[in-house]
Amino acid sequence: MATIHELHTKLVNKEISAVELTNAVISHKAKVEPVVHAYLSDSHELALASAKAVDEAIAKGETISPLAGIPGAIKDNICIKDHPTTCASKMLENFIPPYNASVIEKLNANHYVSLGKLNMDEFAMGGSTENSALAKTANPWNLECVPGGSSGGSAAAVSSGSAIWALGSDTGGSIRQPASFCGVVGMKPTYGNVSRYGLIAFASSLDQIGPVTRDVTDAALVLNAIAGHDSKDSTSIPGQRVDYTKALVNDVKNLKIGVPKEFFGDGLNADVRKAMDEAIETYKKLGAEIVEVSLPSTKYALSAYYIIALAEASSNLARYDGVSYGLRVSADNLVEMSTKSRTEGFGPEVQRRILLGTYVLSAGYYDAYYLKALKVRRVIKNEFDEAFSKVDLLLAPTAPNTAYKFGEKINDPLAMYLEDICTVPANLAGIPGISIPAGMSSNNLPIGLQLLGPAMGEETLLRAAFTFEQARPDCQLVAPTGEVSL
């Protein structure tokens, strides 16, 4: 399994050059992409140019950053200057940002290599990537199944080896759930730990960029490159930079891990439940203390989440009106032009969410929906605070089910929303979460284990995830298409 840290060693030891590595991943990508379709656009030339620069630095004996020269890819809702950034929407199909997202600036400083932009649910709205207006991405473990979403392209690319690492974004589980579906590691950092400047907003108070990687060490390495305060994002948390690799300690003794019973409800798939029980046993054996905890308002999290997310989305997406960028469908007058452009430019799920978001904010319904949701958000945050006063971490499934077949849920929006039950509470509370592979289901699909920590508790999360990974090599499986030959 090719990881950032292994490949970095090979680069430094001159066993392989960055250009050779990049070419190898590009050829592998050419093999898997026709069936996986993780990418929306390519930047191979730029990738090779960056790789060449890294080789020159290595030749000069310079110290290179751990990410330098390792081919990755970026979710297509993160702005890269002069490169199409579409949000997998017809609305932005031809949009070329005149600026870089702050994470891209940070990656540039790390001499990153990007092979292109990755598919997603349109405007990050969805949990299967089926809402992409531009491509249909398959799950590398079973091509008839969805990769999860909305960062389905990110998870599928890393799982199928067409990128060694990827950036995703997580508003209600959009990194963790596809990571779980595709058998890779996905991390949603604390809200405010990674700058959102240049991330095309779905729901501003919930969105967060994070890594999708093959193992926990790589997640720490990517997080090192992208985390930290940014003066362009008013919600960015100030403070000193942290070296997350220091948290990769193979030891969970003295850690108290809480198991919130509300995450283990009736809807939980039996295979997923079994994998969770095994994970709990693993942690017990490793010396962690397992405590049952209660987050009683979890059942209301989904409703609060959808009300808040859709309200914010209705406002965030108002700017796509055909006036100064994006799709324009011509019409005789302005209102008609904007209405036609939006109706043609947005897919059905995006339109549904805009309508709902507009409704919950409109006069007469604000108090019943939006205001209530903001209060429930506080209650949920308080319950997490209470739980974290007793335990260091929480353990739960990432998703109640494994990957499902294309078309299975797409026609029932509410059923689709209910699949997010395990992931949305972390976004409401702003706390970090990580999904790591925890085994396979009886029908050979990956299962994800989710760990949640208190705000800025990424180090504890990484430590516990790393320890699990070391103890359970049986969970570290590579998708049938995922082995890159170097």
Partner 1 sequence: MKISQEEIKKIALLSRLEVKEDRMASVEKELSDILTYVAELNELELDDVEVMAHAVPLHNVFREDETKPSLDHDLALSNAPEEEDGYFKVPRVVQE
Partner 2 sequence: MSSKYETVIGLEVHTELKTKSKIFCGCTTEFGGDQNTHVCPVCLGLPGAMPVLNKKVVEFAIKVGLALNCDILHFNKFDRKNYYYPDLPKNYQTSQYDLPICLNGHLDIEVNGETKRIGITRIHMEEDAGKLVHSGNTISDSNSSNVDYNRTGVPLLEIVSEPDIRSGAEAKAYVEKLRSILQYLEVSDGRMEEGSLRCDCNVSVRLRGTTEFGTRTETKNVNSLTGIQKAIEYEALRQAKLIEAGGKVDQETRTWDDAQGITLGMRKKDEENDYRYFPEPDLVPIVITDEEIEAARNALPELQDAKIARFVSEYDLSREDATILTVAKVTANYLDEAVNAGADPKTVSNWMLGDLSKMINENNLTFAQSKVSPENLAGMIALIEKGTISGKIAKKVIVSMWETGKDADTIVKEEGLVQITDTGAIEEIVKQVIANNPQPVEDFKGGNGKAIGFLVGQVMKESKGRANPGLVNELLQKFLKD
Q: Of 186, 219, 263, 313, which Cα lies nearest the Cα of 3?
A: 219
Determine which residue in the list 246, 375, 390, 405 makes contact with partner 1, applying CB under 8 A.
Answer: 375
Tell the smallest beta-carbon distance from residue 432 to partner 2 (Å). 19
- Minimum distance of partner 2 from residue 338's CB (angstroms): 7
Q: Work out whether 250 is an interface residue with partner 1 (CB under 8 A).
A: no
Min separation Cβ 168 and partner 1, Å:
18
- Minimum distance of partner 2 from residue 318's CB (angstroms): 4
Min. distance of Cβ 4 from partner 1 in angstroms?
Answer: 29
Chain residues 88-127 in contact with partner 1, contact rule CB under 8 A: 94-96, 98-99
Indicate the residue among 69 and 322 with the shorter CB distance to partner 2. Answer: 322
Interface with partner 1 includes 328 (CB under 8 A)? Answer: yes
Residue 47 Cα to chain centre, angstroms: 22
Q: Which of 335, 355, 368, 415 binds partner 2 (CB under 8 A)?
A: 335
Considering only residues 33, 76, 122, 312, which one is a binding residue for partner 2 as defined by CB under 8 A?
312
Question: Whole-number minimum distance, CB 300 to partner 2, in Å?
Answer: 19
Between 220 and 428, whose beta carbon lies closer to partner 1? Answer: 428
185 in Cβ contact with 165 (< 8 Å): no
Nearest CB to partner 2, comparing residues 128 and 338: 338
What are 393's strand-pairing partners? 257
User: By CB under 8 A, is residue 385 in contact with partner 1?
Assistant: no
Q: How far is the CB of 262 from partner 2 (least distance, A)?
A: 26
Residues 6+ apart with CB under 8 A from 243: 224
Phi first, then psi: what are they for 211, rounded to 5°? -85, 150
**Is 91 within 8 Å of 327 (Cβ atoms)?**
yes
- The residue to which tokens 């963790």 are assigned: 176
Are the C-beta atoms of 244 and 216 separated by less than 8 Å?
A: no
Residue 324, classed as helix, strand or coil, is coil
Taking alpha carbons only, the member of 142, 117, 148, 125 closest to residue 38 is 117
**Rounded least distance, CB 232 to partner 2, Å:** 6
Chain centroid offset of residue 227 CA: 14
When the beta carbons of 196 and 214 are compared against partner 2, the nearer one is 196
Q: For residues 299-318, which are near partner 1 according to CB under 8 A? A: 300, 303-304, 306-307, 314, 318
For residue 201, state whether it binds partner 2 (rule: CB under 8 A).
Answer: yes
Q: Please tell me whether residue 330 binds partner 1 under the rule CB under 8 A.
A: yes
Measured CA to CA, the distance from residue 415 to residue 397 in angstroms comes to: 18
Paired with 87 in beta bridges are: none
Does the footprint of partner 1 cover residue 471 (CB under 8 A)?
A: no
**485 contributes a contact to partner 1 by CB under 8 A:** no
323 in contact with partner 2 (CB under 8 A): yes
Q: What does the per-residue mask of binding to partner 2 show for 150-179, with x meaning CB under 8 A?
A: ------------------------------
Looking at the Cβ atoms of 95 and 406, the one nearer to partner 1 is 95
Q: Which DSSP helix (H) or strand (E) runs through 379?
A: helix 372-388
Q: Write the binding mask 214 to 253 for partner 2: x where contact by CB under 8 A, - elsewhere.
A: -----------------xxxxx------------------
**Among 68, 118, 135, 200, interactor with partner 2 by CB under 8 A:** 200
Using CB under 8 A as the binding rule, the residues of this chain from 37 to 76 that contact partner 2 are: none
Is 30 a binding residue for partner 1 by CB under 8 A? The answer is: no
Interaction between residue 280 and partner 1 (CB under 8 A): no
Please report whether residue 92 would count as binding partner 2 according to CB under 8 A: yes
Q: Which of 40, 54, 70, 87 binds partner 2 (CB under 8 A)?
A: 87
Q: Confirm if 191 and 209 have CB atoms less than 8 A apart.
A: no
CA-CA distance, 209 to 175, in Å (whole number)? Answer: 8
Catalytic annotation, residues: 75, 150, 174
| Cα distance between residue 433 and residue 189, in whole Å | 7
* Token code pair at residue 234: 């008013």
Nearest to 403 by CA among 363, 444, 435: 444
Residue 52: CB atoms within 10 A of its CB come to: 16
For strands 209-213 and 289-293, give the pairing: unpaired
Nearest alpha carbon to residue 71 among 96, 54, 58: 54
Q: Which residue has the tokens 């999904």?
A: 435
Q: How far is CA 390 from CA 293, 381, 384, in A?
A: 9, 15, 10
Cα-based distances in Å from 379 to 56, 309, 382, 451: 54, 17, 5, 21
Q: Which residues bind partner 2 (CB under 8 A)?
A: 77-79, 85, 87, 92, 95, 97-99, 101, 196-201, 203-205, 231-235, 311-312, 314-315, 318-319, 321, 323-325, 334-335, 338, 358, 361-363, 366, 370
